[in-house]
Amino acid sequence: MPPIADSILIILLLTNFFILGTASLRAAIRVIALQGILLALLPLFVETHLTFRLVAIVAMTAGIKGLAIPSFLFKAIRDVHIHHEIEPYLGYIPSLFLCAVGTAGALLFADQLPLAIDHRSSLFVPAALATLLAGFLVLTTRRKAISQVAGYLMLENGIYVFGLLLYQSMLVEVGVLLDLVVGIFVMGIVLNHIQREFSSLDTEKLSSLRE
């Protein structure tokens, strides 16, 4: 596997820690955008032949992951005037500790899998597993709906890395991106509803919603 690809995956692992360790929603969204752009470029260093189709899909993926969705999230935090995650269910230090343990576990677990020879020396599997875990931690330990959207995006990034490794085809990823866009729009409706009813984005108040 090209060393540039592994370098991108190392940056992915480091940004997982940053997202789990920051209270700033703007900073988290910027790093999510960085993840999206880097992962969008990853196929250029995985595929052996550069084709117009590959370049077009890379550009589309970068536009959605790195520009469109972060822009939507920035607009959301401007509209609701919420800029920081306050009192998460699990503190930042324990979250970082769990992410470190999970990343180490992903490295050890991937080393035991019966992978193809070309994949044994790469970071695709451990990076995908660690990113899935980090996304799950953000999704389940943060109170603000926007933070939970960031966790959802991290989960999708982990799936994206798996897709590159297992399928070597971007057709599956296109379908995942469409599901992601739908999920973002649904979350946007939730954000607007919570803000309109309670002037807050604390997802605990979802239990108070009534038809």
Amino acid at 152: Y
Contact (Cβ atoms closer than 8 angstroms) between residue 16 and residue 46: no
Residues 6+ apart with CB under 8 A from 86: 23, 143, 144
pLDDT digits (tens, 9 = 90+) for 106-121: 988 887 776 665 656 6
Angle at 80 between CA 82 and CA 23, to 5 degrees: 15
pTM: 0.80
pLDDT digits (tens, 9 = 90+) for 148-168: 888 888 888 888 888 777 655
- Could you tell me the pLDDT band of residue 138, with boundaries at 50, 70 and 90? very high
pLDDT digits (tens, 9 = 90+) for 80-95: 777 787 778 888 999 9
pLDDT attached to residue 180? 64
Sign of torsion over alpha carbons 73, 79, 82, 88: negative
